[in-house]
A and B are shown apart, each in its own frame.
Chain A
């Protein structure tokens, strides 16, 4: 057990150290004293891990590093280092580094030089592989085909899509049960959320993309699932553990349970609400507490769900609803879910508003409330997650192509992947461009110059994202 703990600590330190060295080496040179000193530390860490376990390997799966199939912990203070290193690995198609035996300083130096030089190579992984092939103790592997573009990833995405719709179906079933005052089992929700937690670590952006496919008819059910997914993605970025993420996902799933108490004619009203009607709609927060605490035997999960149901329309400054006598220090889950809830609600079509807001416009509204109603730190994390042009945004590129953002970029928030829907001649097309791609002289190949509202043109986002 102690040995395992050691290796876990080494893994975190090794990743951190590698990221720091790479950054320093890119600025200076691998023979620089500061770099050498850091490399010596890295060699010592690696050799200790090798000595404990016989060999040692780091794998990149999705956006995360794994050590012997176990995800390497994501300490908050190293967050940026982890992300930037993962991005660099991905750019080079590097999927694993294997230390078969104890290594020498020269081995690390060879690897680092090859790694930095590979940035400009047409075949970066092969370049690194070629350079390290003469080293006995070190080996590299490319990104596993299953996790890269191709059949494995497609299969995973199919599973994610299936899970998403299973979750919507489950949400529908749960709401029906709450409405009928039947006992609701949390088991199914827990299982679905656990799957979502797995997917969020492997295919965060694809899963976030699923939330952009809105359903006008089944808004309430999609909304529960979407809020759960967005909350999980945000929670992951905040450094929540798997167990905490599961709890957060379940709590998010139930945040609007109080709506089942509202009359259908009110929920389906197409016109504006009267004051009395709006007062009733606002009551769903307190109805949620009632519904959840009556759902089953009280336990910590139910308590937290009830707290979030009550607080999810309360702002940081205690404005919002329900009106409260005493001041409330919002639960961190409430704050996470509140942002996810607002964002999804604003970007969805509703019975009283035929078209949802474009994602970037919704982000703009959230930004206006930053510092007053919304905590700026939390919002900052959220924007880093969905990007400045969130999935579903209709954009016009400097290449005169029109496209829909289909996947955010975790590092360069204004450089997502875009599904082109019209080429430079305005003709309907369907192909992918990655805005983080650069030309050989280091310039970005394409950039967003304008944005439009996809709802104004009846563009079916699902056609391009599903």
Chain B
């Protein structure tokens, strides 16, 4: 396929082009934007979004949604902090992290069970779950902050391996495994098939409910992974952790080209979109437009969603090669 066709037709190429253009333009205005230090900072900031977007892509490909990931991250941060903090339970870091991962996967599994077994729409199920998780989080925190995370835990957020931050390694591994799952395994093909046409999937003997359970559980688990490698960078854990995170992740998946009605979308698209959306805030700072310019962040991210939906609409109106009516 010629490059121009890829850029206009395949979302990951279109978003990727926009990402590179933004880097070039902002870099031209302020070269410090492209310094190794800044690029690295921006990458570290994007880690939780990238990791959770991988799981959520599968959920949305199946025609479902999970908006409880922000609240789940908040609760997991609190649980992880309480379990490992020397002034609280003071478990070994490995035990605290293990429980956090299990709890994340368990909450995802419950979401999946309610959606498949209870036959409820996932937006309602995960909206309810979000509220419950927020409530439990406030109960556990009891209005207090957790400030004394053990150094072993801090390593996941701040440490480096072979010159690269541990958290970026984690994101890289999650992305590679997700791409392999999506493209290279029968399970991945079946996830796309079940999202593309659930009735046909059932007639083909595919376990549609099982596939949904898998995607929700994976998303819960990846939310826990994102919590483990991003929350220890914070100086305090309080009730605001993860607030609004679900919207950012959903935005990335949709801007990255995953259809909200299911069946299509790529991991790479979601990842590139996460990098692009992560650029917005630093870009506003480095363009030196003044302090108030950063208030535009949300508006610009919102515009990206609308642009993505519009692009889908226009792409659908354009006749495809080889299609017949």
Instruction: State whether these chains interact.
Output: no
Residues of A whose CB lies within 8 Å of any CB of B are none
Residues of B whose CB lies within 8 Å of any CB of A are none
